[in-house]
Structure 1
């Protein structure tokens, strides 16, 4: 058995105000577990995406998250859960004024191929992207269009 206090796990840089990766702290071998706090405008993910080999379940403790899906927007509020199958595109964003607190669970732990899409200002459309460390800012991450090499987002 492993017991972890969420506040004892260091937050990571990304599109969420707070992301605490709990998998390693729990010693989980077949499941990815992440704790999130989303300020208004924040997202769980770097963009609209699908995991090739992982299903994801999100549990919203407080606030409301709006997920962009292939079927249209889906609002998930306090006490609700949503599941995405492997290969199913989604992106959850806090579009409200209240802070969101949520857990994300992914199985298996390794997500398989990530298909990440973002709007590229140079290409003028949503294109495949990759995530890289920024060269000019310590600890920052950037998303880069795989078609033209343009930076499409910066996270610090």
Structure 2
């Protein structure tokens, strides 16, 4: 049996991201699930772009602050301690608005752990 304790603060920040991203799954030796820690200041978004995933289910667990998630149909406000779930094929953009009072910290979990299944989404004006 294998066990891991991972402190996100010990991991390198992923470069060229809109906010502070630390990849936890590799550090924990996980192969079937992607786990990431995001810390976003006011005005920062979590993903690189508004997008959907072809096969990956995704959840965001809000550790602190309030996460905002834009979708084609509505905007969701996800308070601390809550979870936001996204099915494959559902476009979303998670962010911390410009006028937020505090940063937001989120653990994102996606399964299966896949690379290259993110599809950019262009909302209609």
1:6-155 aligned within 5 A: 6-13=8-15, 14-16=17-19, 18-95=20-97, 96-110=100-114, 113-117=117-121
CA distance in 1, matches of 2:42, 2:49: 16
TM-score normalized by the length of structure 2: 0.89
When Rg is computed on C-alpha atoms for both structures, the one with the higher figure is 1
CA distance in 2, matches of 1:15, 1:118: 18
Gaps of 5+ in 2: none
Give the secondary-structure state (helix, strand or coil) at the position aligned to 1:15: coil
Give the secondary-structure state (helix, strand or coil) at the position aligned to 2:32: coil
TM-score normalized by the length of structure 1: 0.72
Gaps of 5+ in 1: 120-124, 127-156
Greater RCO, 1 or 2 (C-alpha within 8 Å, sep 6+): 2
CA distance in 2, matches of 1:40, 1:50: 23
What do you get for the CA RMSD once the two structures are aligned? Answer: 1.7
CA distance in 2, matches of 1:111, 1:53: 10
**Aligned positions, number:** 120
Whether contact under 8 Å (1:54, 1:112) holds in the other structure is no
